[in-house]
């Protein structure tokens, strides 16, 4: 863990990557099976979540694992490698939202060991690197590839911890396992399968076409040892008549020697589950036609935008994503600014698109404006980043709708929230995940009072509100209160129950579409 590879002269300083390691490594309790994809967005995360729920319902203790994920949608874990004093709150970490959903499907609490490396994109060629819940710093892609081999011991330690306490570990690969230019520094696909001795199932996506070429091309790009590790392939997102498609499967099997392990039909209620990353923004909101119009500017490096899923599930809400090049709709009742990994860059987008003018005009007309996390920071007068944590050092003017100022810096705050809110009179659940510190007179009028503690800020007229809490709209009581407060009509939907119902429906479908006994028999 302390060897230093030859970094280029212009790379960031080498971070401290020492993490607690179990020595000797615990023995594997159960079996493991790896799901690799022919590309990104073939449905690996959703398939693993469904399998986690299906095998858990069969009485197995199932745990998810993904060595490296890239997403700005993250979740707070119950554990951390950090240690605080005896009277301090228990430290927390963060993992990708997809692994937190898989943990939920398995009936487990989210752990840093389920996703030991999380990359949170901050620029076109760079990301914040989070190792076992702790941010190491920001790394350009060309330097991160040199860093990755140093992370493998920590990854394997996390995998062994997960495998020591589960009957079945479902391991998810990342992107495509045949990116030959990354083979020398692979830590999450075939290199991990080799080191951990994992059998592999290949997943391809029929919805966009090209599945035959993707499977056969994967066979061509793998070497003999890798081909032998793959036990077969699954076709995902299938729509239509299988009798018409079956000859294509015959071609894939004939060319590769890999058997077809099943065809998974298109899962209609996938949008009832939290999205993993920004690829999901291409799908329309589920709530078109509602009377309460909520406009959400699609800012750069959006983070934790699954905050909005509970709102888009409301039949009385018309949630509209405003893409670059489009104005904020004039009929919006609420403009909601979501989280972003780079607050100042998001403000730059808002100003460049002219959305700042639209938002201020919306407010002058009596409209409401809401900010979550980075969106909250943007509502203030200025956002400063003196140390260049999120980008070049400097400061950017805010929208000036709240009398607050934010400075990016300090340790990342990772806190789970489950408290009574004196302002709304409801129970509020959610989490904080941010590095900025906000000050100013506007905080004297908080949005929440959580068990007596003020949180966020609200304008004197109540039409502008913001805070650091993610996930608040998933609390049914608060969501209903807030929708009524901004002039809408809320339903009696129980959002969290709907998420679990969707996981059950996905498991039911996989029971029909796959031979789960045969798939389990492939695990090792």
Report the catalytic residues: 373, 470
CA nearest 15: which of 185, 158, 147, 152? Answer: 147
State the burial class of residue 183 (Cβ atoms within 10 Å of its Cβ: 0-12, 13-18, 19+). middle
Contact 499, 273 (CB under 8 A): yes
Q: What is the DSSP string of 176-188?
A: ETT-GGGGGG-SS
Q: Where are the beta strands (DSSP E) in 38-158?
A: 62-65, 68-70, 74-76, 94-96, 117-123, 126-131, 134-140
Provide the pairing of β-strand 405-421 with 382-385. Answer: parallel
Dihedrals φ, ψ of 138, to 5°?
-100, 135
Dihedrals φ, ψ of 511, to 5°?
-60, -35
Query: Crossing angle for the helix pair 355-364 and 343-352, nearest 10 degrees?
Result: 80
Instruction: Outline where 257-364 has alpha helix (H).
Output: 309-312, 343-352, 355-364
CA atoms of 53 and 376, how far apart (whole Å):
36
């Amino acid at each position: 863990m302390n060897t230093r590879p030859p970094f280029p002269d212009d790379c960031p300083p080498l971070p401290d990557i020492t993490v607690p390691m179990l020595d000797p490594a615990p023995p594997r309790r159960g079996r493991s099976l790896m799901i690799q994809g022919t590309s990104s967005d073939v449905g690996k995360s959703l398939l693993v979540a469904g399998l986690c729920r299906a095998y858990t319902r069969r009485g197995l203790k199932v745990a998810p694992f993904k060595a490296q994920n890239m997403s700005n949608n993250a979740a707070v874990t119950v554990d951390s490698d950090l240690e605080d004093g005896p009277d301090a709150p228990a430290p927390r970490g963060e993992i990708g939202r997809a692994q937190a959903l898989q943990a939920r499907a398995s009936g487990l609490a989210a752990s840093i060991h389920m996703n030991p490396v999380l990359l949170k994109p901050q620029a076109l060629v760079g990301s914040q690197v989070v190792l076992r819940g702790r941010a190491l710093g920001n790394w350009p892609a060309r330097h991160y590839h040199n860093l990755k081999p140093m992370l493998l011991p920590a990854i394997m330690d996390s995998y062994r911890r997960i495998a020591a306490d589960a009957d079945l570990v479902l391991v998810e690969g990342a992107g495509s396992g045949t990116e030959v230019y990354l083979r020398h520094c692979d830590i999450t696909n075939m290199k991990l399968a080799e080191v951990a001795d994992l059998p592999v199932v290949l997943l391809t996506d029929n919805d966009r076409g090209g599945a035959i070429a993707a499977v056969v091309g994967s066979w061509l790009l793998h070497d003999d040892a890798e081909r032998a590790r793959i036990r077969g392939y699954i076709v995902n997102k299938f729509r239509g008549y299988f009798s018409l498609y079956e000859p294509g499967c015959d071609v894939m099997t004939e060319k590769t020697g890999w058997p077809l392990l099943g065809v998974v039909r298109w899962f209609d209620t996938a949008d009832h589950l939290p999205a993993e990353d920004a690829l999901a923004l291409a799908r329309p909101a589920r709530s078109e036609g509602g009377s309460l119009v909520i406009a959400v500017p699609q800012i750069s490096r959006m983070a934790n935008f699954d905050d909005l899923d509970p709102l888009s599930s409301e039949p009385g809400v018309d949630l509209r994503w405003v893409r670059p090049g489009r104005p904020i709709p004039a009929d919006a009742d609420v403009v909601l600014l979501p989280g972003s990994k780079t607050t100042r860059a998001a403000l730059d987008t808002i100003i460049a698109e002219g959305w700042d003018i639209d938002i201020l005009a919306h407010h002058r007309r009596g409209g409401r404006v809401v900010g979550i996390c980075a969106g909250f920071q943007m509502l203030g007068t200025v956002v400063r980043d003196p140390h260049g944590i999120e980008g070049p050092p400097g400061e950017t003017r805010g929208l000036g709708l709240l009398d607050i100022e934010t400075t990016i810096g300090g340790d990342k705050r990772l806190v789970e929230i489950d408290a009574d809110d004196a302002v709304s009179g409801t129970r509020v659940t959610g989490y904080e995940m941010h590095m900025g510190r906000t000050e100013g007179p506007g905080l004297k009028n908080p949005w929440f009072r959580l068990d007596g503690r003020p949180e966020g800020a609200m304008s004197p007229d109540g039409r502008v509100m913001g805070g650091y809490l993610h996930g608040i709209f998933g609390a049914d009581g608060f969501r209903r209160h807030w929708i009524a407060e901004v002039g809408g009509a809320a339903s009696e939907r129980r959002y969290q129950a709907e998420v679990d119902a969707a996981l059950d429906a996905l498991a039911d479908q996989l029971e029909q579409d796959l031979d789960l006994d045969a798939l389990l028999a492939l695990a090792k």
